[in-house]
Structures are given as structure tokens and as C-alpha cells.
A and B are shown apart, each in its own frame.
Chain A
Amino acid sequence: MLDNASDSTLFTTSLNTLHLELGARMVAFAGYSMPVQYPAGLIAEHLHTRLAASLFDVSHMGQMRLEGQDAAAALESLMPVDVIGLAAGKQRYGLLLDEAGGILDDLMFVNRNLADGGDIFIIVNGACKAADLAHIERHIGTRCAVIPMPDRALLALQGPLAATALGRLAPGVEKLVFMTGGRFEIAGCDCYLTRSGYTGEDGFEISVPADQAMTLARALLAQSEVKPAGLGARNSLRLEAGLCLYGNDIDTSTTPIQAQLNWAIQKVRRSGGARAGGFPGAERILAELDEPSRLSRQRVGLIALERIPVREHSALHAIDGTLLGEVSSGLLSPSLNQALAMGYVTPSHAALGTRIQARVRGKPVPMQVCALPFIANRYFRG
């Protein structure tokens, strides 16, 4: 049974009264009381997101900004990612690494016209935000101003009709393409939004002053396409989209290459690139990138050949019984009605089509390695 979030030590977001008014089931997540689902239920919310548009409160996530001329170069020293080369108005996925190349957190960052007096705006995972802030401050706090933004809420509007719904309130947002951002006034609220999200669908993430979040949320929910969705649907959508959940699919024990996040490491930071290396764990990560045979394990997508949910920590075995690894995320997909999972296996069993077995309550469940994402993403690229 799910925990309920009556614990008074939990933080609440600025939409807490709205969640309760909408009949949400609240759970403890990342130190916050958060809506896991509304009365329609996880499956209905999930399917509505794939068909229309859903509003998610993700205000538990951390927002911060970096200011100062050296901010891009400074942030680049913490991630295997091209920060310096990111054009104004563009967003990119980044990975904070520890000295061993393990992943401290994954994040999204936007160049909000840094060269011309703006900043780099960063969104990090809620459970990691205090540690991330301390890490960034400790390593680059002398090179740029590191400014937490606890006074802002974060909403995500996700789904194929998100642009239609939001465009009615903020003409012009529909012109943004995937992974770009801009400042917009929406329902009288001073918003910074990016065309991105965590569902595989087209959509927007909207940073708004916390004291205006309720006005914005009500304006969005008043659009005929939009219904509220909770963290449960957010999780099932992101798994279908093949996206990693920090703490499940990636953590300090995984490197970006093991996690098959090679695409997040731009050419300029790789061996032979103009700014190769120079990030924590670079020697190990570039070696894994240059010689994949060094990998001890890698993340794969898995489909169960029987209709049995295969959840995180289920053991994965070869057909001959050899232990290969374990599932990092798994559930029964609401869209496909199949048991989907992501997990880590030894590279010898990572090829597409490889048959392996999961152990669920002691019983073998046949699975097949398959391509990610499970459901093709529908980002708007213009």
C-alpha cells in the first residue's frame, strides 16, 4: 500500500490546496507532500497525457541560476557536456559527476543570454537539490554567483495538445521548438518556460513565482484539453519514453556510458574534441567511450514476453542461469499493456533481441532486450 503524506515535517508546494481540492492522493516524495494521482487514476492520467495535455506540479524540483561572465566555463568543469557552446535561448541535458565519473545528478540547463548579462538557469532533481547546490557552490562558487531560487514553482504541461492550450493564453509559445526557452506573461504571471519535459510528448516546463503558481495552474486547468496528472503517471510516461530516473536508473554507482547516455556528451568534450576532458572522472569516462569493451555493464530496454510486471531490483539472468544484473525501473505499460523495464546487464547480453530472464518472486519471466524509447517521442522540432 502507498504511504500517505500526513507527516507534518514535509514541505508543501504552492499548489497544495489545489491538489487537495482536486482530490489528489498525496504521498511523501523528495521531502514534499506531492500528488501521486487524482481521482481519475494513474492509467487515465497517463493515457490523457498521450492524447491531450496534462498539468503536473513539479515544484519539488530545484531551480537555481548562475551569473557572471565565467559561469558557462565554470559549469562545464563539472559536467561532460558542452556548456560554453550552447547558444542563447537553448536548453541542454547535463550530468553532474563525481571524481570517479559516477552521476551525482542529472539536470536541465538553459543559456538565458549569459553573454549579455543574463544567466544559466538550471533545474535539478528535488531529492538532490541541496547536495547539488552545495556541490556547485563548493566547486565553482568563486567563479560565478550561484543563486538558489526557492521562491519559484515549476509546472509541466505535457501532451500533444499542450501547445494548443498554452498558446491560447500566451500567443507565441507555439513557435518555440524542443529544448528552447523564453520569458512569457501567462494569465498575468511572469513565467520562464522551456519546450521540454519528461514524458516523451511535446510540452512545456514553466517556472513561475510561487505566489503566482495558483493563478497559472487554474488558468491552465480551465483549458478544455488540460487535466491534472500526478507523479505516478509522470513515472510511467517517462519509463515508456526510455528516460532515466535519478536514484533508480542512474546514481553515483553508474557512469554516463554505462547508462548509455553517450548522446549527452557532445563531440567537443570527447577525445580529440576542442575541449576534450576537463570534467570529473574524465579519464574513466573517455576510456569507456573510446573502448566500449571496458564496460562491465550497460543499461538496456527490456520487454517481458509474459504479462507480469517486472519491477526494480528484480534479478536478470541469462538463459543458462548466469546472473547478468538487475532491473532499475519496471512496470506494466499503460499505453502498450506490456511489462516494460530498464535494467543493467553485462554487455555480452545487451544486443537488441537477446533473450534473458528476470526473476519475479522466484519465478523466471522471459524478457527480450529492445530499443529505447518504448514509445517514440513526439517532441516539436519545428
Chain B
Amino acid sequence: MIKYTEDHEWLKIDGDIATVGITVHAQDALGDVVFVDLPAVGTVFTQKETAGVVESVKAAADVYMPADGEIIEVNAALKDDPSLANSDPLGTGWFFKIKLSAPAQLDALMDETSYAAFANT
């Protein structure tokens, strides 16, 4: 199951683990991604807290925690090649994995159809 936030993050949910990245729309709006600042494994965030930063040549944008939880893994490949966020945002360009502590929060997030409508408005 994939869910989307209003801040243009996606979550792929597998039980109480979610893999998080930025959407195709977000990477397109940002342009060439040149730097990604990811949180430390073990950090606990609440929903909407800033968990990372993604930067293009021109601009920096915060990456928000899509739901309460703990960072259990970050994508080390992004450090060496931040452009993965552009070339494969939903695949190898993922940002981090979280262990969800309040999975019920996911019910309020958008599915693919609602996000597509949201992103195009």
C-alpha cells in the first residue's frame, strides 16, 4: 500500500514499517537534486517534524516525517548519488524507513488517486 502526504512525501507500507521518499511531482518541482540530508538511525520523530532536507542547486526543501515513528534505516546510496531522487524517486531514490508508532495516522493520508488530484491543483 502506498500513501501520500500533502508535503509530497510517499510511504510504502509493509506492516508497521514504512519506506519514505519524495514524489515524482516533488522532485520535478525541485529540479536537479544535489544534496540530501538524512536523519540519524534511531531518531524518533512525530508526524510533521522536519526529518531531513533535500536540496537542488537553487533551493532547499524540508522533508517531513509522514507519521510518528523511529528511523530504522536511511538510504546511503543517496549520499553518493543524490540524483537518484530525480531518476528513480519511487524506487532506488527512497530516503528512509521508519517503524510506525501510530499506524492509525495513515488513514488520514491520501491514496494515489487523491494525491494525483492534489498535486495537479
Contacts and interface: CB of A to CB of B under 8 A. Distances in A.
A2 B56 CA distance: 10
A124 to B, nearest CB: 23
A309 interface: yes
Interface stretch (A37-45, A108-116, A288-296): A37-45
A274 interface: no
Interface string B1-20: 00000001000000000000
A331 interface: yes
A1 B32 contact: no
Nearest to A339: B35
A235 B59 CA distance: 12
B79 to A, nearest CB: 9
A183 interface: no
B116 interface: no
B59 A307 contact: no
B32 A2 contact: no
Contacts of B26: 1
Contact of B57 (A25, A332, A361): A332
A232 interface: yes
B86 to A, nearest CB: 8
B31 A332 contact: no
A309 B34 contact: yes
A235 B35 contact: no
B61 interface: yes
A235 B56 CA distance: 13
Contacts of A332: 34-35, 55, 57
B58 A42 contact: yes
A46 B56 CA distance: 13
B57 A43 contact: yes
Nearest to A311: B60
A332 B82 CA distance: 12
B117 interface: no
Given A2-B31, A332-B35, A334-B57, 15 more contacts: A1-B26, A1-B29, A1-B59, A1-B61, A2-B58, A25-B31, A37-B31, A41-B31, A42-B31, A42-B32, A42-B56, A42-B58, A308-B37, A309-B55, A332-B55
Give the 4 A-B residue pairs with the shortest CB-CB distance, closest first: A332-B34, A43-B32, A1-B29, A41-B32
